[in-house]
Structure 1
């Protein structure tokens, strides 16, 4: 697919954070969406907002909530988020894809341009730190300094990720496509060259919007921003993340998040 946007580096490009927060988090259990459940004494979403607020490199942060949601200050009280700078947009959709796309349009209303960078982060990754954000920014913005600026991948963007350390198994498919009472190994999958994607995922705003719009028009399922970028024939950079930056998905994940964040509560 043709990429219609210029990718020439611009020293004036700013960086915006975008946190889609419109999901229900049903796999995590609980009466509240997981991003609102308490981890080490604070709502989970606080940690991501605090990490970006602590980075001078980030011009603004937009939190994307569902249209029928309420402001965080109303849900938890203004004191819970005192000192954190973020803008709330009630434009979330039924999918992450739709929420991010709507969030990009909101950032444009805040003054972001197609040349600016956007860092999209999962609300359910409370282990993010300012150091991780700075590492991603340095790596991505440093790409153009070492590659031909006319090359297709120069300063395209990149994501935090970790190499897969474990042996991987593919489950054997049960006969007739029926659910199996006992799941058995079908094959061992080589982990060579495999990385587990994390967030933030950092791209030029205009390129990401184009990628998401084209995927939506084609009916393509994209599970993260990088996969939409890949559909354009581009190759984002992999930047070493951290196991601390894991995604809270299941009920047992809350205990691990408590262990990681308990001693440093209030220090992103």
Structure 2
């Protein structure tokens, strides 16, 4: 754990020319939340982060967003007016942190506001390395070969990918090192430069420690990147509980397939003791999958597992009914089964959950069932709520 104070500068004042459209990309909503808030939320949750200089194009607009979303760490945020270039905006954020004279502030982290995924372990590694070496940066292996071209667009040389890496954020620096480097910047560097690690190398003589980060350090640059962001954010926010009265091949297969696709998977086999969840000390889940060996009593089911649900996150309640083992479905029309599913969806609205009911008539379609459940979990919970599916 970090034992010293850390400040953060998040530049989020860009116009997003490559992204296109009239709305800067940092304000685009992903799963109902402005993009820049994912980075802000993450850093604000770290207890050793003392202050975040959030550099934006419109302070009033961002302040209103923070108020409307009920941002819980508002005391950690200092809104700073962005300037004309990336380096000038970062310098403005650093200057605000300097004015605050924060006690024990040894390291400052710079992170782009349009990079929503921030691994905790990587941030800790970078801060520790910066505290020892003066600077540290996250990198990734190059995917494409980089070519050097002439002014008239003819090939001059091809770089060896094995000796080059892609610079990413977050980056971390001793606070005094980065502020001193910006004090020595030329006007040309402030106007055209983008790389903080290069600044401390050029002006302070400090070679940054480079740490290879995971593949999800990418930056949202083009509109197509939003689709990847939605999928990745939904995965890291999805905590799933599978409940079944007995062990089955479908339950085991579902758990195995979900492990790599969601943040948490818990499997409960047997009678659920929901009383243990009422003290709020147990893990809660935004998605719950129930395997039924009998028809659903809606009121009882709500009481049985409502305490497991994280009602602050959207998610799904998926009821899987094994009709191959029961006779309940034979007495109901398809219309009544659909109506029953929609009624349950209405009941769960107050818990911010969608509801899907799956009736399995053929007991030998485990993989198809697993594939369907995973598709439902990865989709927007509002897309399929109230729907009833049948496996014959």
TM-score under structure 2 length normalisation? 0.54
Match of 1:215 among 178, 182, 185: 185
* Correspondence for 1:228: 199
How many residues align? The count is: 236
TM-score under structure 1 length normalisation? 0.77
The whole-number CA distance in structure 1 between the counterparts of 2:34 and 2:138 is: 23
The answer to whether the aligner puts 1:241 opposite 2:219 as a matched pair is no
Q: CA deviation at 1:217?
A: 5.0
Over residues 28-79 of structure 1, what are the superposed CA-to-partner deviations in whole Å (9 max), with x where a residue is unaligned? Answer: 113211111112331101110111122122122121123x4424241x3624
Structure possessing the higher relative contact order (Cα contacts under 8 Å, 6 or more residues apart):
1
> Is there any run of 5+ residues in structure 2 with no aligned partner, and where?
240-262, 264-392
* Correspondence for 1:163: 141
Judge conservation of contact 1:18–1:119 (CA < 8 Å) in 2: yes
The whole-number CA distance in structure 2 between the counterparts of 1:157 and 1:77 is: 31
The answer to whether the aligner puts 1:91 opposite 2:81 as a matched pair is yes
Judge conservation of contact 2:53–2:97 (CA < 8 Å) in 1: yes
Higher strand content, 1 or 2 = 2
SS at structure 1 position matched to 2:199: helix
4+ aligned runs moved over 6 Å, structure 1: none
The whole-number CA distance in structure 2 between the counterparts of 1:158 and 1:219 is: 20
Q: CA deviation at 1:222?
A: 2.5
Q: CA deviation at 1:87?
A: 1.6
The answer to whether the aligner puts 1:30 opposite 2:30 as a matched pair is no
The whole-number CA distance in structure 2 between the counterparts of 1:249 and 1:50 is: 20
Q: CA deviation at 1:133?
A: 1.4
Matches within 5 A, 1:166-181: 166-171=144-149, 173-174=151-152
> Is there any run of 5+ residues in structure 1 with no aligned partner, and where?
1-10, 145-154, 175-179
Q: CA deviation at 1:167?
A: 3.2
**1:15 and 1:219, CA in 2 relative to 1: closer, same or farther beyond 3 A?**
closer
Q: CA deviation at 1:106?
A: 0.5
Match of 1:100 among 85, 90, 104: 90
Over residues 147-169 of structure 1, what are the superposed CA-to-partner deviations in whole Å (9 max), with x where a residue is unaligned? Answer: xxxxxxxx212011112244333
The whole-number CA distance in structure 2 between the counterparts of 1:113 and 1:222 is: 30
**1:242 and 1:228, CA in 2 relative to 1: closer, same or farther beyond 3 A?**
same
The answer to whether the aligner puts 1:51 opposite 2:42 as a matched pair is yes
* Correspondence for 1:135: 125
Q: CA deviation at 1:196?
A: 0.8
Matches within 5 A, 1:57-206: 57-66=48-57, 68-74=58-64, 76=65, 78-85=67-74, 86-112=76-102, 116-141=106-131, 144=132, 155-171=133-149, 173-174=151-152, 187-206=157-176
* Correspondence for 1:260: 232
The whole-number CA distance in structure 2 between the counterparts of 1:114 and 1:98 is: 25
The whole-number CA distance in structure 1 between the counterparts of 2:95 and 2:174 is: 13
CA RMSD, 1 decimal: 2.7
**1:117 and 1:258, CA in 2 relative to 1: closer, same or farther beyond 3 A?**
same
Larger Rg: 2
Higher helix content, 1 or 2 = 2
SS at structure 1 position matched to 2:184: helix
